[in-house]
């Protein structure tokens, strides 16, 4: 089962918004949000909440791809998220999330008994390539007790 299939099966909001997992690697995840009338805002584009969910979901996918082998000893959790809306988004949009810290560095902190934090940058784009939103989600690996 792929990370996208796992998340679609276990996260109801992923199914609700019909998010598609186009690519998921330890360095990058790409998800798409189809154009759906029931999730449009007052200007005809995807609602800000749907775009936030798309971005947060993309960040979570890259985190699971990068740190899935650590789940027996730590749980990944978002600790902070910020989004900047740059342009009106119309039609389907795509989010690309990238891990902004080396995996080995984060795991080394976990090995030292610390609770590492690391940012994931997300860019949300229209089909024409214009960046509609930029987002940063800071994640942690909370050690299991």
pTM of the full structure: 0.95
pLDDT at 89: 93
Gyration radius of the chain's alpha carbons: 15
31 by Cβ neighbours in 10 Å (0-12 / 13-18 / 19+) ranks as: buried
CATH of 3-143 given 3.40.50.300, 3.60.20.10, 1.10.3720.10, 3.10.129.10:
3.10.129.10
Greatest Cα-to-Cα distance within the chain, rounded to the nearest angstrom = 49
- Nearest Cα neighbor of 17 from 31, 28, 29, 30 is 31
- For 22-26, what is the mean pLDDT? 96
Q: Which residues pair with 133 in a beta bridge?
A: 85, 124
Report whether pLDDT(19) > 90: yes
Q: For the chain, what are the domain ranges? A: 3-143
Compute CA 3 distance to the chain's CA centroid, rounded to the nearest angstrom. 12
């Amino acid at each position: 089962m792929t990370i996208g299939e796992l998340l679609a099966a276990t996260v109801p909001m992923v199914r609700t918004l019909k998010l598609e997992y186009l690519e998921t690697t330890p360095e990058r995840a790409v998800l798409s949000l189809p154009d759906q009338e029931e999730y449009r805002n007052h200007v005809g584009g995807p609602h800000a909440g749907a775009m936030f969910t798309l971005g947060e979901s993309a960040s979570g996918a890259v985190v699971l791809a990068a740190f899935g082998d650590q789940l027996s000893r730590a749980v990944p959790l978002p600790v902070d998220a910020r989004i900047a809306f740059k342009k009106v988004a119309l039609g389907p949009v795509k989010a690309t999330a990238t891990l902004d810290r080396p995996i080995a560095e984060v795991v080394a902190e976990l090995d030292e008994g610390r609770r590492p934090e690391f940012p994931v940058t997300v860019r949300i784009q229209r089909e024409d390539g214009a960046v509609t939103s930029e987002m940063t989600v800071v994640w942690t690996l909370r050690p299991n007790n």
